[in-house]
Amino acid sequence: MAKPSRALHKSSGTNGNRKLALIASKGSLDMAYPPLILANAARMSGIDVEMFFTFWGLDMITKKKMKNLNVATVGNPNMHPWFHIPTLLGALPGMSAAASWMMRGEIKKLGFPRVPEFIEQLIDAGANVYGCKMSMDMMKLTEADLVDGAIVLGAMEFMDLTEGAQIVFV
């Protein structure tokens, strides 16, 4: 039994100001959610969040792509159990789109937002969202191509920002 207090509400370990650094490097629908959910859980627990989107992870914060992330039906061993398709059939046209459609349905049933809304929710919740400069140069993207509120950042600057943070790479 403990009386309510501010201290009981901090998931901040022993030294306070706990910070989580998330690096999102995958742009498929199934790999987009883990970093988003972790970032959201951290913000809901009062933990500071810095998110770095690199390589295919950039698709999650690129205006043109974020609405249409797909799940791969070939070479993805994790389709089981709700949508199991043999690899050969997975290569058929339309299979990836169908699986993605199904997965979006399942995500909706759980009450989770779609990727663009999720990103917006995280920015509103105070998470900092960064696009990897090198990946953006490679993909010929500028800050204007990113969702509002996202900032272009180099990897070394990200390291400076996340000193002392706990780092999760997805």
Applying CB under 8 A, which residues contact another protein?
1-6, 8-11, 37, 40-41, 43-46, 110-113, 121, 124-126
Phi, psi (degrees; rounded to nearest 5) at 138: -65, -40
Reading the block at residue 120, the tokens are 């917006």
**Whole-angstrom Cα distance, residue 28 to residue 100?**
9
Q: How far is the CB of 95 from another protein (least distance, A)?
A: 29
> Is 39 or 60 the residue whose CB approaches another protein more closely?
39
What's the min distance (Å) between Cβ of 1 and another protein?
Answer: 6
Q: How far is the CB of 32 from another protein (least distance, A)?
A: 15
Smaller CB distance to another protein: residue 88 or 110? 110
Q: How far apart are CA 169 and CA 21, in angstroms?
A: 8
Nearer to another protein by Cβ, of 47 and 85: the residue is 47
Q: How far is the CB of 5 from another protein (least distance, A)?
A: 6
Question: Based on CB atoms, which residue is closest to another protein, 1 or 156?
Answer: 1
DSSP state of 104: H
Long-range pairs, 114-119, Cβ under 8 A, ≥24: 114/67, 115/29, 115/32, 115/36, 115/60, 115/66, 115/67, 115/69, 116/66, 116/67, 116/147, 118/36, 118/40, 119/36, 119/60, 119/61, 119/66, 119/147
Closer of 120 and 157 to another protein (Cβ): 120
Smallest gap from residue 38 Cβ to another protein (A): 9
Q: What is the DSSP letter of 152?
A: E
